[in-house]
Structure 1
Amino acid sequence: MAYLKPPWFVRKIINKVAMTTGVGNSQTLTVIRRVSKQPQQIPVVVPEVDGVKYLVSTRGEAEWVKNVRADPHVKLNGTAYVASEVPVEQRAPIIAAYRPLAGKVVEDYFKKLPDDADHPTFALSPG
């Protein structure tokens, strides 16, 4: 699966600002790293469709995606959830809800990775 690595400035500066301020509708996702078992925090935009919250990876198979697959117990702004991956054929309405929330900043990622299969998506259940 494809992956668009974010530039250093985004990883080290923009992501920290987003998690601190909530800019751009962002929330803080905390997952447990597969190898080190240490927490990893990532800013995410969380669409809600039919009362269910979702995680969408705009950059493809990111490290946080691999970590969620290894341990689906995650926290979103400190609240515990269990993530389950959404089959590719069910992702379109979730991604459609995600894109306007995330704004223009993600449009380039969808141009580079146009297939819904390139955007792992997870439903969140209270956990």
Structure 2
Amino acid sequence: MTDAANRTGTTRYLPPGRLSRAVNRIVAALTRRGLSLWGSRVLSVAGRNTGIMRSTPVNVLTLDGEQYLVAARGNTEWVRNLRAAGRGRLTVGRREQWFTGVEVLDDTRLPVLRAYLRRWAWEAGAFFDGVTAGTSDDELRAAAGKHPVFRIVPTPTPEDRS
């Protein structure tokens, strides 16, 4: 477990089932072709052990002019890889956005989680153990440690940095 996981208590991980994996493949294929479904992007992050780029579809939340990634399933592989690599790439079709992922560890993640649940409860609400967008701050705070949140800070592409 990483230091960030120790700080947030994020050890929970709910692996996707067969149906979820199939849906993820479809969403990723559509997103790669330029069709974003409800804010979908393909997230690519270097693997923490191999350095090979690993990709998965994610929902990008825009709130108050900032973009966020929320790990509804908990301490997923992409979360662990992003913590290790610190940066990743989001793509829709041919458009790509490189970013630094800044983990949000305090109560500033509560409005992000609330907005995420408001937008994607139909898709991800089952992973929040009954917590909803209308849940009290105390209940949401208790659940927050199970769902890592990253603020997306755009950065230059690796080619631009050299």
TM-score of the aligned structures, taking structure 2 as reference length: 0.72
How far off is 1:20 after superposition?
Answer: 2.0
Percent identical pairs in the alignment equals 29
- Among candidates 29, 40, 55, match of residue 20 of structure 1: 29
- What residue is the counterpart of 2:124 in the other structure? 106
Displacement of 1:24: 4.1
Corresponding residue for residue 80 of structure 1? 98
Q: Select between 112-121 and 23-32 the one with higher mean Cα deviation.
A: 112-121
The counterpart of 1:9, out of the listed 5, 19, 23, is: 19
Runs of 4+ displaced beyond 4 Å? none
Normalised TM-score (structure 1): 0.90
Match of 1:50 in 2: 64
How far apart, in 2, do the equivalents of 1:7 and 1:96 lie?
25
How far the C-alpha of 1:94 sits from its partner, in A, is 0.4
Name stretches of at least 5 consecutive residues in structure 1 with no aligned partner. Answer: none
Larger Rg: 2
Q: 1:84 & 1:14 partners in 2: Cα distance?
A: 28
Q: Which structure has the higher relative contact order (CA within 8 Å, separation 6+)? A: 1
Residue-pair matches, total: 126
